[in-house]
Structure 1
Amino acid sequence: MASIDSNPRPSGQVRLVRVPEDRAGQRLDNFLLGQLKGAPKSLIYKIVRSGQVRVNGGRAKAETRLEAGDEVRIPPVRLSEPGEKGAPARGLLDAMAASIVFEDARLLAISKPSGVASHGGSGIGFGVIETLRALRPNESLELVHRLDRDTSGLMVIAKKRSALTELQALMRESDADDGRGIAKRYLALLAGRMPDGTMTVDAPLHIGLRQGGERHVQVHAQGKPSLSHFRVLERRGGHSYCEVRIETGRTHQIRVHAQHIGHPVAGDDKYGDVEVNKRLREQVGLKRLFLHAASLEFSLDGGRAHYLLDAPLAPELVDVLDRLK
Structure 2
Amino acid sequence: MRAMNESTQDTHHQVRWLDIDADMAGQRIDNFLRTQLKGVPKSMIYRILRKGEVRVNKKRIKPDYKLQAGDQVRVPPVRVSAPTDLPNPNLAQVSQLTDRILYEDDYLLVVNKPAGMAVHGGSGISFGLIEALRSLRGSDTLELVHRLDRETSGCLLVAKKRSMLRLLNAQLREKQMKKIYLALVQGEWSKLDRAVTAPLRKQVLQSGERMVRVDGEGKPSETRFKIRQRFAEGTLVQASPVTGRTHQIRVHTQAAGHPIAMDDKYGDQEFSAAMRSLGLQRLFLHAETLSFYHPKSEDWTTVEAPLDAELVQVLDKLTKV
Q: TM-score if structure 2 supplies the norm length? A: 0.90
Residue of structure 1 equivalent to 2:308: 314
Distance 1:123 1:254, change over 3 A: same
Q: Is 1:270 paired with 2:265?
A: yes
Residue of structure 2 equivalent to 1:168: 169
Give the alignment of 1:54-73 within 5 angstroms. Answer: 54-73=55-74
What stretches of structure 2 of length at least 5 have no aligned partner?
A: none
Give the alignment of 1:1-325 within 5 angstroms. Answer: 2-3=2-3, 10-83=11-84, 87=88, 90-138=91-139, 140-174=141-175, 181-196=176-191, 199-210=194-205, 212-282=207-277, 284-301=278-295, 304-325=298-319
Distance 1:33 1:169, change over 3 A: same
For residues 92 and 56 of structure 2, what CA distance do their matches in structure 1 show? 41
| SS in structure 2 of the partner of residue 225 of structure 1 | coil
Distance 1:310 1:84, change over 3 A: closer
| SS in structure 1 of the partner of residue 46 of structure 2 | helix
Q: Does the 8 Å CA contact 2:43/2:207 hold for their aligned counterparts?
A: no
| SS in structure 2 of the partner of residue 265 of structure 1 | coil
How many residue pairs are counted as aligned between the two chains?
A: 315
* Structure 1 residue runs of 4 or more that deviate by more than 4 Å after TM superposition: 82-89
CA apart distance, 1:138 = 3.0
- CA RMSD, 1 decimal: 2.4
Q: Does the 8 Å CA contact 1:42/1:121 hold for their aligned counterparts?
A: no
Identity, % of aligned positions: 49
| SS in structure 2 of the partner of residue 31 of structure 1 | helix
Q: Does the 8 Å CA contact 2:43/2:205 hold for their aligned counterparts?
A: no
CA apart distance, 1:187 = 0.5
Q: Does the 8 Å CA contact 2:23/2:166 hold for their aligned counterparts?
A: yes
Distance 1:221 1:62, change over 3 A: same
Q: Does the 8 Å CA contact 2:108/2:157 hold for their aligned counterparts?
A: yes
| 1:189-244 per-position Cα deviation (integer Å, ceiling 9, x unaligned) | 01011123662112211112446443211111211111111111112242001111
Give the aligned residue type for 1:107.
Answer: L
| 1:66-94 per-position Cα deviation (integer Å, ceiling 9, x unaligned) | 11111111123343444568657701111
Distance 1:4 1:244, change over 3 A: farther
| 1:93-119 per-position Cα deviation (integer Å, ceiling 9, x unaligned) | 112222211101111110001111111
For residues 33 and 247 of structure 1, what CA distance do their matches in structure 2 show? 25
For residues 211 and 90 of structure 2, what CA distance do their matches in structure 1 show? 31
| 1:102-141 per-position Cα deviation (integer Å, ceiling 9, x unaligned) | 1011111100011111111111111111111122223510
CA apart distance, 1:61 = 2.4
For residues 203 and 83 of structure 1, what CA distance do their matches in structure 2 show? 40
What stretches of structure 1 of length at least 5 have no aligned partner?
A: 175-180
Q: Does the 8 Å CA contact 1:2/1:15 hold for their aligned counterparts?
A: no
For residues 86 and 108 of structure 2, what CA distance do their matches in structure 1 show? 28
